[in-house]
Amino acid sequence: MVAGKIVLVTGGGNGIGRALCRLLARDGARVVAADRVSTSAQETVNSLSNPKSHLALELDVSDKSSVETGIKCIIETFKAPPSLVANVAGITRDFPILQMNERAFTDVIDVNLKGTFLVTQAAVKALVEHGGKDGAVVNVSSISSKGNYGQANYSASKAGVEAFTKTAAIEFAKLGVRVNCVMPGFTQTAMVETVPEKVKQKVLMMTPLKRFGQPEELAEVIAFLLSDKSSFMTGAKVKVTGGM
């Protein structure tokens, strides 16, 4: 279902993005692991069974020229733009609002929300210019989009990603590009390593499955939304939270 397709995965150097790259490569896709940290992207590609069929890309999703250069590089490498895009890159900078400086707010909005816009816009533009159709974009929001103590910046960015997804789904339907969103709950990656034990126990109490998600479990759902197995889905938000 994704075999032979070119898939751009941002945040492909770690966590959910890396798990997604591995799953897509196993299923025959040509994977572009794009990450701000080039060594992490390269490590991901090196871990795939045929690294030469894939591409590691240093790319900052919050920087328009970096995104445009990245798309050009994909076209040069594969002679076509990606038809599938997973906007997985994301950051947190947690502080209660009264202690949050402007930088912590804008950095999170720039990566999580503006980055999703820049990558989606550049990739879909390139797809259209190359006469491609049957594309799919999957964005990653968060259970925190509902509001979470200390995460005003992150919650707002992820609520924005959900709204952006719905509008993109409406605008791109005529282009044959579906746009959906996954909403992860607490998932065992580097992003949550510094969360205090007390908070983790509280999250577990609110999670009916009584455990945290694994990156591979998120990757499965994102891969489904990228593939034509989900051909009648667009503008959807899928919760992957262990029931939280």
Ligand X SMILES: NC(=O)c1ccc[n+]([C@@H]2O[C@H](COP(=O)([O-])OP(=O)(O)OC[C@H]3O[C@@H](n4cnc5c(N)ncnc54)[C@H](O)[C@@H]3O)[C@@H](O)[C@H]2O)c1
**From 142, 151, 155, 207, residue interacting with ligand X (rule: CB under 6 A):** 142
Site string for ligand X, 185-204 (x = CB under 6 A): -xx-xxxx------------
- Residue 65: exposed, middle, or buried by beta-carbon count in 10 A (0-12, 13-18, 19+)? exposed
Site string for ligand X, 12-51 (x = CB under 6 A): -xxxxx-----------------xxx--x-----------
Does residue 60 interact with ligand X by CB under 6 A?
A: yes
> Please, what is the Cα angle at 219 between 170 and 158, to 5 degrees?
50
**From 184, 221, 238, 242, residue interacting with ligand X (rule: CB under 6 A):** 184
Q: Among residues 11, 1, 62, 3, which one has the least CA distance to residue 32?
A: 11
Task: Confirm if 135 and 114 have CB atoms less than 8 A apart.
Answer: no
Is there a catalytic annotation at residue 149? no
Closer of 59 and 226 to ligand X (Cβ): 59
**In whole angstroms, what is the distance from residue 63 CA to residue 82 CA?**
19
What phi, psi does 48 have (nearest 5°)?
-85, 155
Does residue 58 interact with ligand X by CB under 6 A?
A: no
Does residue 81 interact with ligand X by CB under 6 A?
A: no
What sign has the CA pseudo-torsion 216, 219, 224, 227? negative
Q: How far is the CB of 78 from ligand X (least distance, A)?
A: 20
Does residue 74 interact with ligand X by CB under 6 A?
A: no
Strand order in the sheet with 30-35: 55-58, 30-35, 6-10, 84-87, 135-140, 177-184, 237-240
Q: Give the active site residue among 105, 154, 172, 186.
A: 154
**In whole angstroms, what is the distance from residue 240 CA to residue 244 CA?**
9
Does residue 62 interact with ligand X by CB under 6 A?
A: yes
Q: How far is the CB of 230 from ligand X (least distance, A)?
A: 19
Residue count, binding to ligand X (CB under 6 A):
30
Could you list the active site residues?
154
Instruction: Give contact residues for ligand X (rule: CB under 6 A).
Output: 10-11, 13-17, 35-37, 40, 59-62, 88-91, 111, 115, 140, 142, 184, 186-187, 189-192
